[in-house]
């Protein structure tokens, strides 16, 4: 995470990221793959399973 900037607009946005990253299984609608949800617009390094613990630790520091 050293090259990536982690930020949120406000506490609601931060909580959304926390919940989104914490979920073990994210279901997708394959038939309607569009970029309309907030979760689909998060950077891949945030949604990557390998960075889950780092993201959650960064959120807990706030």
Q: Does 45 map to a domain?
A: yes
Q: Does 3 map to a domain?
A: no
Domain that holds residue 51: 11-23+37-60
Q: Does 56 map to a domain?
A: yes
Q: Does 4 map to a domain?
A: no
Q: Does 53 map to a domain?
A: yes
What's the rounded Cα separation, in Å, for the pair 34 and 36?
A: 6
- Residue 2 confidence class, pLDDT cut points 50, 70, 90: low
Structurally, the chain folds into a number of domains equal to 1
Using a cut of 0.85, tell me whether the model's pTM lies above it.
no
Q: Does 1 map to a domain?
A: no
Q: Does 2 map to a domain?
A: no
Convert the pLDDT of each residue in 22-47 to its tens digit. Answer: 988 777 666 666 666 778 788 889 98
Q: Does 44 map to a domain?
A: yes
């Amino acid at each position: 995470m050293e090259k990536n900037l982690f930020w949120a607009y406000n506490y609601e946005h931060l909580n959304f990221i926390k919940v989104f990253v914490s979920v073990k299984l994210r279901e997708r609608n394959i038939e309607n793959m569009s970029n309309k949800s907030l979760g689909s617009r998060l950077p891949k390094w945030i949604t990557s399973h390998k960075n889950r613990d780092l993201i959650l630790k960064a959120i807990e520091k706030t």
